[in-house]
């Protein structure tokens, strides 16, 4: 590199030419350096954004890791002799399932976890599905007191129809119990995931709801 202190002074034509040439080369190098730094910073920013977007996806949830056999035994009253995991995906949602087989079979427990599919390029947020399914029941007014005969008539008619979901308070962001002739299941939403728990046994619906709530609390604590 030319040292300006060792070149002819600017008072001569030769000195001025040397100094101008040196300054032009120096400025060019400075511009190139600044451009290179800006390019590296831009690439680093893009890489950070890409990494953040990828890391923002929730990893796969293993349903069988959310509730232990001992916890189920304590709630259901029967030891668990087998645990069977499975999963399925439709390109938008991933559903991980776990079936806990109890020694007393009708004490068995089924757990399913629905999340956005981490492997999909077009996943859906389970909250959207939740709103589509249970949104119309949110904020539903309590039944007002009215004519008992009318109530009885409505109850008799509903016996032939599927019961609407029952809102359950005190767990997750939102929860509903859906009943059927074979029993029922508890659905619980927490953040961007919802779970479904069903239990067997001869107990009343209220007892099954309480058992499902207790199991759901264990599962939600590990999400």
Say whether both 67 and 25 belong to one domain.
no
Say whether both 50 and 102 belong to one domain.
no
Say whether both 67 and 50 belong to one domain.
no
Say whether both 69 and 42 belong to one domain.
no
Residue 143 falls within a domain, yes or no? no
Name the token pair of 219: 């599962």
CA Rg value for the chain? 33
Residue 101 falls within a domain, yes or no? yes
Give the pLDDT band (50/70/90) at residue 193. Answer: very high
Residue 84 falls within a domain, yes or no? yes
Name the token pair of 200: 């067997």
What residue numbers bound the domain in which 71 lies?
A: 63-137+148-220
Give the pLDDT band (50/70/90) at residue 180. Answer: confident
Say whether both 35 and 118 belong to one domain.
no
36-46: buried (b, 16+ CB within 10 Å) or exposed (e) per residue? eeeeeeeeeee
First and final C-alpha spacing in the chain:
62
Which secondary structure element, helix H or strand E, spans residue 46, and what is its range?
helix 13-55
Q: CB–CB of 101/180 below 8 Å?
A: no
Residue 67 falls within a domain, yes or no? yes
The predicted model gives 148-168 an average pLDDT of 63
The per-residue pLDDT for range 113-129, each reduced to its tens digit, is 999 998 888 899 999 99
Give the pLDDT band (50/70/90) at residue 145. Answer: very low
Give the pLDDT band (50/70/90) at residue 9. Answer: very low
Identify the pLDDT of residue 92: 93
pLDDT at 12 over 80: no
Distance CA 145, CA 141 (A): 12
Say whether both 9 and 47 belong to one domain.
yes
Distances (CA, A) of 174 to 34, 162, 184: 54, 21, 17
Distance CA 7, CA 18 (A): 7
Residue 206 falls within a domain, yes or no? yes
- The mean of the pLDDT values for the chain is 77
Residue labelled with tokens 């927490």:
190
More confident call, 32 vs 93: 93
Domain count, the chain: 2
The predicted model gives 157-175 an average pLDDT of 80
User: How many CB atoms within 10 Å of residue 172?
Assistant: 21
Residue 187 falls within a domain, yes or no? yes
The predicted model gives 16-24 an average pLDDT of 45
Residue labelled with tokens 């929730």:
58
Residue 12 falls within a domain, yes or no? yes
Say whether both 123 and 13 belong to one domain.
no
| Model-wide pTM > 0.85 | no
Residue 25 falls within a domain, yes or no? yes
């Amino acid at each position: 590199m030319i040292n300006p202190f060792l070149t002819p002074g600017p008072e001569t034509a030769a000195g001025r030419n040397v100094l101008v040439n040196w300054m032009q080369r120096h400025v060019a190098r400075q511009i190139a350096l600044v451009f290179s730094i800006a390019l590296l910073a831009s690439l680093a920013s893009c890489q950070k954004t890409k990494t953040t977007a990828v890391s923002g996806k929730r990893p796969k949830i293993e349903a069988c890791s959310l509730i232990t056999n001992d916890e189920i035994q304590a709630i259901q009253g029967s030891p668990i002799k087998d645990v069977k995991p499975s999963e399925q995906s439709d390109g938008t949602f991933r559903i991980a399932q776990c079936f806990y087989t109890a020694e007393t079979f009708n004490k068995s427990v089924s757990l399913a976890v629905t999340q956005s599919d981490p492997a999909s390029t077009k996943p859906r947020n389970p909250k959207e599905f939740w709103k589509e399914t249970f949104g119309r029941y949110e904020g539903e007014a309590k039944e007002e007191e009215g004519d008992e005969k009318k109530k009885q008539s409505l109850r008799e008619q509903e016996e032939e129809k599927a019961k609407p979901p029952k809102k359950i308070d005190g767990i997750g962001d939102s929860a509903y119990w859906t009943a059927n002739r074979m029993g029922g299941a508890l659905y619980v939403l927490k953040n961007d995931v919802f779970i479904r728990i069903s239990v067997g046994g001869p107990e009343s619906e209220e007892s099954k709801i309480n058992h499902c709530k207790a199991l759901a609390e264990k599962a939600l604590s590990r999400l």
